[in-house]
Amino acid sequence: MAMPDPLVRKIIHIDMDAFFAAVEERDDSMLKDRPVIVGGDPNSRGVVATCNYAARRFGIHSAMTASRAKVLCPDAVFVRPRMEVYREVSRQVMGVLRSVTPQVEPLSLDEAYLDVTELLLPDVYARDIARDIQRKITLETDLTASAGVSYNKLLAKLASDWRKPNGLMVIPPERGADFLAELPVRKLHGIGPSTAAKMEGLNIHKVSDLRVYSRQQLVVFFGKVGSWYHDVSHGIDHRPVEPFRKRQSVGYERTFPEDLCDPAEIRACIYEMADKAIGRLQVLQSAGKTVTLKIRLRDFRTITRSRSIAGYVQNRSDLDDLLPWLMEKTITEQPVRLLGVTISSLVSRESLPPEQIALGL
């Protein structure tokens, strides 16, 4: 079995705990210790954007209909998203991370990778840096974050999810392969529900099952991406932390555990994804020219429609002008298994003329 290079980078993945819901609890003391759901109206066609851990104990999860969440937890408090507030808190969090190292790659409003390899000294360990980051985030925002520390992005992200909330887990090189072995393959980066289903047809359920096949065999089964599946199953991930990576697009998509059949519910989900896409755009301090809506139907047919604007997409109101047309061109009476919203042809907001920069960002 190929082993990772022990001279490796030291990567930290920071992930805020139930971010939107935690901000709401922080700002309203009446919500403390109650199940909190951030999303749409449970009495209409709203959708759950996220929820706190008290609500998750009832089986509630993101993209569930708000009405279903209300059935599962009648005492839950439903709160409409306040994206501007979340973006401001995100700026505080990212400021904390960049005070530690410039090697920060934001993934969304509430998570990022850091490469702290160059900060390490004989008496300074990556786990200590991670603990210090957690402490600083709490002091700055009165919120908690979980941290994962490992020798690559794959394992750092998995580790950050292992002891939530407010947890810290370290996976050193000598433990990486063993940690992965018993995980379901769907936990690996790049393996979605449809790929996981195909793997199950090959009797591949756990990461250890994936290792039975050679790189060549996995390429035959899955195409070029099979080489990636081979590497990550052995704990190998050479992707660098890219703080200044020029992104061509940002977006959000989700495959649903159950097909969506109600057009109103589909539209509500699309608007929730639009919020997430705008959040990622603003974390990168970027603007985009083109918006694409992607819908995958029950029979796996995929419909995509794009539309560009003369100016730039920078905030949710810009998307609100485009989404109705895109939805009209894509939503059918067929059940939907996947939805996605992407903003592309990105430029830095710093490069825009002053009159084109949206206020309040």
Q: From residue 356, give the alpha-carbon distance in Å to each of 53, 344, 346, 353, 361.
A: 40, 17, 14, 5, 12
Q: From residue 182, give the alpha-carbon distance in Å to each of 149, 200, 245.
A: 19, 15, 33
Tokens coding 232: 């990550």
Q: From CA 230, how far away is CA 220, in angstroms rounded?
A: 12
* Under 8 Å between Cβ of 293 and 275: no
Q: From CA 225, how far away is CA 139, in angstroms rounded?
A: 42
Tell me, yes or no, if 105 is annotated catalytic: no
* Under 8 Å between Cβ of 172 and 150: yes
Tell me which of 24, 105, 111, 272 is the catalytic residue.
Answer: 111
The count of other CB atoms within 10 Å of the CB of residue 185 is 21
Query: Edge-to-edge, what's the strand order for the sheet holding 104-108?
Result: 104-108, 111-115, 11-16, 145-150, 168-171
- DSSP string of 228-261? HHHHHHTT---PPP-TT---SEEEEEEEEEEEE-
Q: Known catalytic residues?
A: 111
